[in-house]
């Protein structure tokens, strides 16, 4: 067995005890065609879940092989509601929701931040999560069962300079998760979020190299996270094993988080 090093990256293989962990479950993943969302969706499918992917990328949806897909702008609350109804009609239930759709927005000081860009980041990253949670919860409440995992960010805890809209939106996701988790604590539904530090995804193309270098400098482990590392944490939160945690904020930041 290879020794662990300070910058080692894990290689995952499913054991027999995990291969069917989500057999019979229906999982909705927003932003499920690329990046963290795609990695989570692939792991859920590998462990038996039937997928409903919601994304703007029509070609990616068509190529995904998911049991159900919806081309969706998560900023449209009525469309999100229809997507939830469509998923239940097609697959019978929604057992798991993972909200991964998001953008970074531009990198610039708050006093120079364009209002239109600020609104767009908040609309997708925060309001889109709210709309998705709001649309799915009634179906979960009807069955008194479900798992919601919202993808937040370490920026929502720390506040990244030159990324005020992104930081504010992810802080909002943390607050939303805490509120909803408490509201549903007396049910069989668990609501949690994860706060990754920078993970290598296509979102990097939206950032300046200066911003990317700054983020790396803040991670004590000395590397960016891997999508599969985030997926492993999300799948535990989406599983029956996560029974006593709700409204929780789970750090996966390479040591960056200070609380």
Between CA 227 and CA 51 the distance in angstroms is 18
Q: Is 119 exposed, middle or buried (0-12, 13-18, 19+ CB in 10 A)?
A: middle
Residue 5 lies in a domain: no
What is the pLDDT at residue 198? 86
Residue 14 has pLDDT above 60, yes or no: no
Whole-prediction pTM: 0.91
What is the pLDDT at residue 241? 97
pLDDT tens-digit map of 37-52: 999 999 999 999 999 9
Residue 171 lies in a domain: yes
């949806």: which residue's tokens? 61
Helix, strand, coil in percent for the chain, rounding step 5: 45, 15, 40
Residue 102 lies in a domain: yes
Residue 17 lies in a domain: no
What is the pLDDT at residue 10? 46
Residue 169 has pLDDT above 70, yes or no: yes
Between CA 128 and CA 122 the distance in angstroms is 8
Residue 114 lies in a domain: yes
- Output the CA–CA distances (angstroms, integers) from residue 93 to 19, 68, 79, 195, in the order listed: 21, 12, 18, 27
pLDDT tens-digit map of 20-75: 999 999 999 999 999 999 999 999 999 999 999 999 999 999 999 999 999 999 99
Residues belonging to the active site: 166
What is the pLDDT at residue 4? 38
Beta carbons of 28 and 50 less than 8 angstroms apart = no
Q: Is 73 exposed, middle or buried (0-12, 13-18, 19+ CB in 10 A)?
A: middle
The residues pairing with 98 across neighbouring beta strands, listed in sequence order, are 29, 149
- Output the CA–CA distances (angstroms, integers) from residue 180 to 50, 74, 152, in the order listed: 25, 19, 14
Mean pLDDT of 162-184: 98
Residue 206's φ and ψ, nearest 5 degrees, are -90, -5
Residue 61's φ and ψ, nearest 5 degrees, are -60, -45
Mean pLDDT of 156-184: 97
Query: What total number of domains does the chain contain?
Result: 1
199: left (phi over 0), alpha (psi -120 to 50) or beta: beta
Beta carbons of 136 and 153 less than 8 angstroms apart = no
Between CA 201 and CA 223 the distance in angstroms is 14
Residue 2 has pLDDT above 60, yes or no: no
Residue 12 lies in a domain: no
Residue 173 lies in a domain: yes
pLDDT tens-digit map of 177-202: 999 999 999 999 999 999 999 887 77
The residues pairing with 196 across neighbouring beta strands, listed in sequence order, are 252
Residue 19 has pLDDT above 70, yes or no: no
Residue 95's φ and ψ, nearest 5 degrees, are -95, -30
What CATH number does the domain containing 35 carry?
3.40.50.720
What is the pLDDT at residue 192? 98
pLDDT tens-digit map of 103-159: 999 999 999 999 999 999 999 999 999 999 999 999 999 999 999 999 999 999 999
Residue 8 has pLDDT above 60, yes or no: no
Residue 3 has pLDDT above 50, yes or no: no
Residue 184 lies in a domain: yes
Residue 17 has pLDDT above 70, yes or no: no
The residues pairing with 26 across neighbouring beta strands, listed in sequence order, are 50
Host domain of residue 44: 26-252
Segment (H or E) for 120: helix 115-122
């Amino acid at each position: 067995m290879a020794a662990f090093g300070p910058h080692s990256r894990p290689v995952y293989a499913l054991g027999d005890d995990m291969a069917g962990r989500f057999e019979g479950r229906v999982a909705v993943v927003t932003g499920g065609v690329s990046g963290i969302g795609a990695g989570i969706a692939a792991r859920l499918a590998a462990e038996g879940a039937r997928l409903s992917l919601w994304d703007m990328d029509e070609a990616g949806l068509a190529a995904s092989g998911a049991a159900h897909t919806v081309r969706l702008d998560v900023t449209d609350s009525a469309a999100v509601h229809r997507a939830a109804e469509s998923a239940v009609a097609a697959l019978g239930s929604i057992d798991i929701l993972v909200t991964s759709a998001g953008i970074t927005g531009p990198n610039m000081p708050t006093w120079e931040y364009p209002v239109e860009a600020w609104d767009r980041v908040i609309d997708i990253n925060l309001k889109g999560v709210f709309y998705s949670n709001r649309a799915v919860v009634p179906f979960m409440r009807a069955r008194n069962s479900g798992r919601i995992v919202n993808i937040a960010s370490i920026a929502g805890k720390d506040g990244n300079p030159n990324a005020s809209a992104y930081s504010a939106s992810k802080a909002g996701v943390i607050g939303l998760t805490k509120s909803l988790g408490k509201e549903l604590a007396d049910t069989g539904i668990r609501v949690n979020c994860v706060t990754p530090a920078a993970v290598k995804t296509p979102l990097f193309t939206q950032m300046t190299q200066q911003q990317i270098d700054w983020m790396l400098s803040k991670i004590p482990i000395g590397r960016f996270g891997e999508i599969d590392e985030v997926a492993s944490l999300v799948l535990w939160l989406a599983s029956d094993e996560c029974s006593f945690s709700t409204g929780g904020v789970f750090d996966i930041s390479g040591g960056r988080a200070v609380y």
